[in-house]
Each structure stands twice: as structure tokens, then as C-alpha cells.
Structure 1
């Protein structure tokens, strides 16, 4: 099979497509014929050596796929060849990938393979943040940084589905337009606008109820200052760098800072995670969520796609198609 292989940690441009053996599923594993593989910031960090839990080369990146069950291992029940699925997988940037049978989700007809492959991580993080880490209520105002990327767009969509108003923050006109098309009521340019002042003006001077911070860096402090009394600041990621925030800003107005790291929660609470995923899928089926169609690129473009993510050039979500 064809697969993208990381031979050494470092520049993502060094990734190459190679021929590798088709993997055999072990006990409680399923082999998926991959139709689309989601490309995310974590994949870029893993390849470049910047992820907090490093991988040892050689390995095939890619942790999220959609496709068709091709074979099942011993002790697998409930799944059979031909089932359409999306899943957290091992080695997703390939024509075939393995997944634990507990990590598979049936792909509803409302999601094509491309949307299925770009749904689980981005939407799972936002749904976890807004329904588990905190509870976003109807008519609250949520400010989303990095709102033009895959993770930020999912947050805009999820917040709107819960009845919240959304203010998007994104660094290019293309990204802001995309956030507005997903339901944000306003989109701010952090390069030319005072995010705190603009957010306060849009909320009648009150400030926002929740910040979903995907970016980090200097933007985090401005977003924190935009919070109202008892506002909640959700730390989701920091591609722009880990923010250095004066803690007096948390003390003032009784604000809260909440870390959002769904991966470790999934490991500790697998059954609760299945309930969470079922809620998300039901929201798609019922028309409450509207995942945007991702850009589709061939496996050979994996290095380019991951470089765009690292350099924050990516707009929306991208999937690799074998």
C-alpha cells in the first residue's frame, strides 16, 4: 500500500510516500480502507518533533480517518467488511489503517468521507469544551480565536448549535469570511483591531462570557481582557506560543481559566467519550451542526499541508486522499 512515512523527526517537508505492507488487524482491531484522512496540527507537531508525547520514527502519521471496513481481527463484534466508518486510527496517512474496534463510529449519510475524516478531533474538542469543561448556555457570547482554521470553525458551529452568539477572531479576510459563513455574528482582525475594545462594544460594554482560545501568544491576553464578570477562558492550543498572562486579570472580575485537553479525558473515560460522540453525530443528523467541506489533497502533499498548519496559513480543514 502507499503511505506517508516519517523517517526522522524534523522538517515536515521530509515526508515521503512509500510502499509499505498492508497491516493485519490484531485482536479487537479493524482494518479500514481509507477514503480520507484528516490532517491536523497534532500531526504536524508529531512529525516535527514538537509534540509533548513524541513518536519514534519510522512511523506513518495520521490519527483520524474515514473509510470502509476492510477486515476485522479476532474478538471484534458489531463490525464487518463494507461498513462505512470514521475513527481515531493508527497510521491514517495511507491507503489502509488500523483502528481499535472501540474507536469506530458509523458514518451517517449526512457526512461524506471528507467531512467524516475531519470531524472527530475538531468537533470533539469543541463539544467537550462547551458541554463538559464548561456549559455554554443559550444567548451567551463566545469569542473564538483562530476562528478560520478547522478547530476554530468547529467551535463556531458548536457554539451556535447550543444557542450562543459568536464573535470570531481571525487574521485574514478569507478566514473571517469563512467564520461568518459558519454563523459568527462578527469577525475581528487581531492585526488591526483592539480585540478587547471591539468585543466590549459588540456586547454593549459587558464583555464576552466565554473565550475559546485556539491561538495563544499575545492574543490570549487581549481575549482574556474581553471577558465579563465570571467569564470563562478555555485554553485549547497555542500555535502562536504559550501565553504569559498576568494572573491579576483572572482575579479581577472573578474570571476562570480552564484547560481543554480531550485526549487524556478520552483515555480515562472511554464510555463517557462514546456518549459525547453519539451526541455530536445526532446533532449532525438533526441538522444542528454543519461541518464545512474540507479541502482535499493527495498523499504526496502531506508535507505542504502540515507546513501550512505549522505556519498558520491553513484556511478551514484539509484532508489527504489516498
Structure 2
């Protein structure tokens, strides 16, 4: 089978496409015939050995896949060959086959396209967990989304509206903000030419925002923290800007606000029963059409490096998906 391999740590252009031996599931594992793979920012980190998950070389990146169960290992009870699934193996998804733990695999209802499914679980799972579990968002609250045109950001815009929030989308261009508006944003801020704090003050009448959803980090994090309302919740999602901000903790005292870490992968492993329940709810919303990821580009597996480079450079809007040759032939 074909797989995109990281054989040495480095940028996306160091990845290679090779034929490798077919995989076999071990105990508790599911062998998945991959139909589509989502491209995510952590994939850019794992190939440079800058992520908390550190697989042995060589390995294939790719943290989320959609496909069909090909075989199951000893002890697997919930899945059988031929069933449609989505999974978050952590790595190994840039390939025609991958292995996932049973607890990291979820049923995929009929009628949902494999590409849509591969662009869905990490972004919307993270946002679902962030807004409902970590922020306890209440209808009528104001939600600020930084980096709002990215895959995770758009999921926060969409789900924030679904949960009853007033959503302020912040992004770096008018084109990106137009996409945010299409996905339900109430207010828009172009922080490449507008002062973020001043605009937030104007949009909230000086009150501030109840929740900040920050997958970006960098220079805008402190400005957003300074713009929080009393009892606000600042959600730390990630650092696509490449800079982990250092903020003055006295701001949390003055604002009476909380800084809340959001790691969905850790949630899956630490609270598997609760995570499974939330995932079932989320997939049902997906099946009903209440949420749906925006896919900006679809690349063949052999162009994985190009796709990943776009994500690393923050040029992608929504999600990018890889389609193996074997999947595109179906």
C-alpha cells in the first residue's frame, strides 16, 4: 500500500511517498481502508518533532481519517469489517491503510461523504468540547473567535451560533471574513487593519466578550484577554501563529476571568465514556445537517506535502482533505 512517510524530521517537503507493507491489526486495533484524510495543523508539528505525540521514525502523519473497516484485532467488539467509520489515530492517516484504537474510532452514518467526515472530527470535536464542557457557553453570551476562517475557527463560528451565542469572527482578510459571515458570524473584525481591542469595545458597548476561542496564539491573544467581560472564559486551543503568548496573570484577577486549556485528544483518553457520548451527539448533528465542515481543497495523496505546506503557512481556509488513489477510483 502507498503511504506518505516522515523518514527524517523536517518541513513538509521532506515527506516522501512510498510503497510499504500492508498493515495488520494488533489487539484492540482496527485496520481501516482510508477513503479520506483531514490535514491539520498538528501534522505540521509532528513531522518536525515539535508535538507532544512523538512516534518512532519512519511514520506517516495524519491524525484523522474516514474509511471502511478492513479487519479488526483481538478483543475488538464494536466494529466489523465493511463498516463505515471515522477515527483519530493520532498519526498514520496519510496512507491507504491506517490503524486506530477501538476507543478512537466511531461509526460513520450512511449518507455522509467520506471527505466531509475526514474534515470533521478533530475541528468540531475540539470545538464541541471547548464550548460545552470547558466554557459552558450559555445562549446570549458573546463569543470571539480568533483565526475564524481556519478549519477549527469556522467550526467555532458555526457551533457558537448553533448554541445560541453572538459570534464575533476575527481574521486577517476581508475574503476570510466573508467566509465567516457565510457560516453565521454576527460581527466581523479584520485584525490586519483594525485595532482588535478598540473594535471589541465598540461591538460590546465596553462590556467585553464572554468567551474567547483562540486557536492562533501570538500577538492577538493578550489583546483578546484584555477585552474580556467579568467571569469570561479564555479558551486556549492552539498556536498556529507559532508563538506561545506570555500574558500577565494579573489580568485574570482584574477581569475575574479564567484561562482554560482545551486538548480534545487528552479528553478522549482521560474521559473516554464522556468523550464518546459527546461524539455521538456531534455525529448526529452532522447527520442532521446542523453542522458541516467547509472543505477548500482536495488533494491526491502524492500532493500531501503541498497540502501540509499550505496549512503550515496559514494560507488554507476551512479544511484541506487528502484522497488516496484507491479512494478516488471508487
Runs of 4+ in 1 over 6 A off after TM superposition: none
Alignment partner, residue 54 of structure 1? 54
Uncovered stretches (5+) of structure 1, i.e. residues with no partner: none
CA distance in 2, matches of 1:248, 1:308: 37
The structure-2 alpha-carbon separation of the partners of 1:36 and 1:224, relative to structure 1 and needing over 3 Å to count, comes to same
The aligned runs of 1:6-45 (5 Å cut-off) are 6-45=6-45
Structure 2 match to 1:111: 112
Quick check: 188-197 or 279-288, which moved more? 279-288
Distance 2:125 2:218 in 1: 24
Q: CA deviation at 1:277?
A: 0.4
Where do 5+ consecutive residues of structure 2 fail to align? 325-330
What is the deviation of 1:293? 3.4
TM-score, normalised by the number of residues in structure 1: 0.96
5 Å-filtered alignment, 1:229-308, equals 229-240=230-241, 241-308=243-310
- Matched residue of 2:47: which SS? helix
- Equivalent pair of 1:157/1:291 in contact (CA under 8 Å): no
Helix, strand or coil for the counterpart of 1:168? strand
How far is the alpha carbon of 1:7 from its aligned partner? Answer: 0.5
2:217 alignment partner, SS class: coil
Matched, 1:134 2:138: no
**Secondary structure in structure 1 of the residue aligned to 2:290:** coil
SS of residue paired to 2:65: strand
Q: Take 1:305 and 1:145, find their aligned partners in 2: how far apart are those partners?
A: 22
Q: Is the 8 A contact 1:114 1:294 kept in 2?
A: no
The aligned length equals 322
Deviation of 1:294 (Å): 4.7
Q: d(CA) in 2 for partners of 1:296 and 1:286?
A: 24
Cα-Cα RMSD: 1.4
Deviates more, 1:272-281 or 1:289-298: 289-298
Displacement after TM superposition at 1:290 (Å): 2.7
1:76 aligns to what?
A: 76
Distance 2:137 2:290 in 1: 15
Asked whether the 8 Å contact 2:293–2:319 carries over to 1, the reply is no
**Matched residue SS, 1:211:** strand
